[in-house]
Structure 1
């Protein structure tokens, strides 16, 4: 990262005295509801896309119509060898979901240097809306993924950075709880998205589900625009008026420590996101989805993860607040380690289900339990990670570092997609045991290095 790309932002004063929304600034409400609608659309689409690619789009009669797919597939097969429709779907999902989490780095830079956070978020929301609508047509599938990737890059990191700027630098506990509330709103959207879009796709076809996601993304854009006056903005530095201050040695050390934290979180990222890739494929083939009311859509299982993230959020916020009052709250890195252990247990549950199923089917309650467990793992993993990045990142690169926080998801998802291509070469039980072991590696790294990292980050200069 070049220091010349790390400006000191001009910013409005953070809103620190307003406590009108659950004891937090009103701006948190608008950011949370924007993200709820955005996640409603995103997870509604994501719950469909792997099965859509594997079962329809990449099958003869459809695959020939997708613009640019032959060149894309040829490039992949040059590196990975011949890919079945299932393997191509897995790797494509890995690239898409990974790049969605890479482009926030660029979006953070655009906000820091060119447009400011507010305008960058609006552009991102409009690009994502266009991407969802482009998904309605087979021909524009790859274009749709590109628009969603670019739009998400403009939106994701900058909304997270705006939450951090609502609080003073030393208000660690309230900021962490704010990110937990924010994550709860995300998961409310993530619960409803797969249910609505998955149900409509099963009843009326894939493209109706994708079109619904586009309408929801437009609603997210309207919500964000309605709350503009309550939101802090990191305005870009004018390079012709003032020079960018380089990072100090201490700030560079902080950045490097945060990069180490990112690396540790990659392992459970691989396991977590595999549930939304091969997890749905396995459920569709091996879970008993018949009910007295009809066939249960496999995409609905992604709502289980989000639902349990929602219902577990309030108890965890209460627990962490109680521990904070007593001076006993676990560090953010400890929480991340607990999340890695829970994700490993969730993958172990899927391994058990796969071994029980063999070539047959198992009760849908077993994968239901696995998705519930990974939902709680998410709460221990992601909100503390974002809070740590927001608190510790130097102020001159805060938005950029919040974008960089998604690098762990970028790397993890790329690897996750490749791991998913191994599914057809292994037994399902072995495949899920592999994913459990990957997450355990992350937990062991926290156990070995978490205390030292926490201590050194605590001693780092605090952003202004």
Structure 2
């Protein structure tokens, strides 16, 4: 979100434009475009592992996938079945958070953000349609990776560029933008997930591609309401850059140390799209009123609970702050880690108390989603606020880009740890995730004790806005 705040590379539009919920009309076009892109992305997230485990990576089909045998032999040490699917998923989702840096460079130096974003949307649509060709599976993933990289950062920057530096509507604009994203996360599994599991895998992927095209059409229709690119603003920004002080370098070092800690602490949350879905597909009792619910609906459950907890946690701390001192960012991240540990223990308990020949009831999984979502609400938006708050102003955009390497590391870990699901006892598998959350808890406490004041005592306080 704050990438846009840090990189004002556009001429700001009319401040009096309040045609969309009191905001510039361009926000509506960008919001609906982002909703379509996130629908596309989370459709892929929901279906990918289930598609590979239940359909593609089985004898008789996987041999026809171009390049897969080479990849399996030279990169994944001969893995097969669920471990191979987990490894491919981890690589894909990790690189999703690395390619936006490339997309930003291309936009800044050569093509501009508008053109780069459009190319990204086209590549994503192509990638989804290529999923219908089983032999082109790896090429489809490549197209999707490049597409997300070109799209992801460039649209957020345009949201911030709709507002001047003193326009107080900016914070609310990103909250509205985030609502569009969360709505898509909830809807995508219900539509694409159901189509993929019940009608045919390619129908689910194709639906995502069609929605991505709709998003591109919306974006093109709104061009006249979007900011115009300005090279002059970039030149001015470079000219006014100040040298970094010793305190700046110290805060930067602290943030860099936090990145791998975040990666480890996010393991349980990111596993939801990987081995957790496979486990749920195999062991959960998904019967409801005589009907077996699609496994992909677990993602909708998680998204819905996460959205509700984001709102509830923000409301709680607003209420708390009226009469008491509100905790700082690191303290909230410590609280979040406690809930994440508790959520992981729910999965361990479910595995430990259910016989191997019985289905797992939904009580423990629902409790996991509830507790983990409370942890998510205390860690994800708060950590982003912390990075944007204490990053040296000369390199704020770069630091925010580095922040997303935490997700890169988390998803890379998911690819490796998720591959152990088939070979480890399920109780041991989930205890590993509990341990990762506990590691984050301890590390955040250490940061609080050693660097607490330095990491919270700054002039620019954005945590209340983002949380």
The TM-score, its normalising length taken from structure 2, stands at 0.85
Give the corresponding residue for 2:47: 48
Of residues 329, 340, 344, the one that matches 1:343 is 340
In 2, distance between residues paired with 1:233 and 1:221? 18
Three-state SS of the structure 2 residue aligned to 1:59 is: coil
Q: Contact 1:101–1:409 at 8 Å: present in 2 too?
A: yes
Residue 398 of structure 1: how far off its partner (Å):
4.1
Give the corresponding residue for 1:4: none
Q: How does 1:286-301 map to 2 (within 5 A)?
A: 286-301=283-298
**Corresponding position: 1:435 with 2:430:** no
Give a deviation string over 1:206-265, Cα, whole Å, max 9, x none.
111110111111222233334445545664579999977776223555543432332331
Three-state SS of the structure 1 residue aligned to 2:279 is: helix
Of residues 111, 118, 133, the one that matches 2:114 is 118
Range that drifts further, 17-26 or 427-436: 17-26
Q: How does 1:316-327 map to 2 (within 5 A)?
A: 316-322=313-319
**Corresponding position: 1:456 with 2:454:** yes
In 2, distance between residues paired with 1:322 and 1:168? 30
In 1, distance between residues paired with 2:16 and 2:144? 36
Q: How many positions carry a matched residue from both structures?
A: 453
Gaps of 5+ in 2: 1-5, 462-467
In 2, distance between residues paired with 1:149 and 1:322? 41
Three-state SS of the structure 2 residue aligned to 1:424 is: coil
Residue 74 of structure 1: how far off its partner (Å):
0.8
In 1, distance between residues paired with 2:424 and 2:408? 25
Q: How does 1:197-236 map to 2 (within 5 A)?
A: 197-232=192-227, 235-236=230-231
Give the corresponding residue for 2:145: 149
Give the corresponding residue for 2:89: 93
Give the corresponding residue for 1:277: 274
In 2, distance between residues paired with 1:230 and 1:67? 43
Q: Contact 1:307–1:375 at 8 Å: present in 2 too?
A: no
Give the corresponding residue for 1:422: 420
In 2, distance between residues paired with 1:228 and 1:134? 28
Gaps of 5+ in 1: 1-6
Residue 324 of structure 1: how far off its partner (Å):
6.2
Q: Contact 1:169–1:462 at 8 Å: present in 2 too?
A: no
Residue 30 of structure 1: how far off its partner (Å):
3.7
In 2, distance between residues paired with 1:29 and 1:183? 12
Give a deviation string over 1:107-152, Cα, whole Å, max 9, x none.
2333333334333322222221111111121111111111111111
Residue 28 of structure 1: how far off its partner (Å):
4.3
In 2, distance between residues paired with 1:311 and 1:337? 20
Give the corresponding residue for 1:3: none
Would the alpha carbon gap of residues 20 and 370 (structure 1) be closer, same or farther in structure 2, given more than 3 Å must change? Answer: farther
In 2, distance between residues paired with 1:320 and 1:333? 14
Give the corresponding residue for 2:181: 186
In 2, distance between residues paired with 1:168 and 1:317? 26
Would the alpha carbon gap of residues 382 and 296 (structure 1) be closer, same or farther in structure 2, given more than 3 Å must change? Answer: same
Give a deviation string over 1:89-124, Cα, whole Å, max 9, x none.
011100000000111222233333333433332222
In 2, distance between residues paired with 1:128 and 1:383? 26
Three-state SS of the structure 2 residue aligned to 1:422 is: coil
Range that drifts further, 237-246 or 264-273: 237-246
Of residues 78, 84, 88, the one that matches 2:80 is 84
Give a deviation string over 1:70-98, Cα, whole Å, max 9, x none.
11111124xxx442311000111000000
**Corresponding position: 1:357 with 2:345:** no
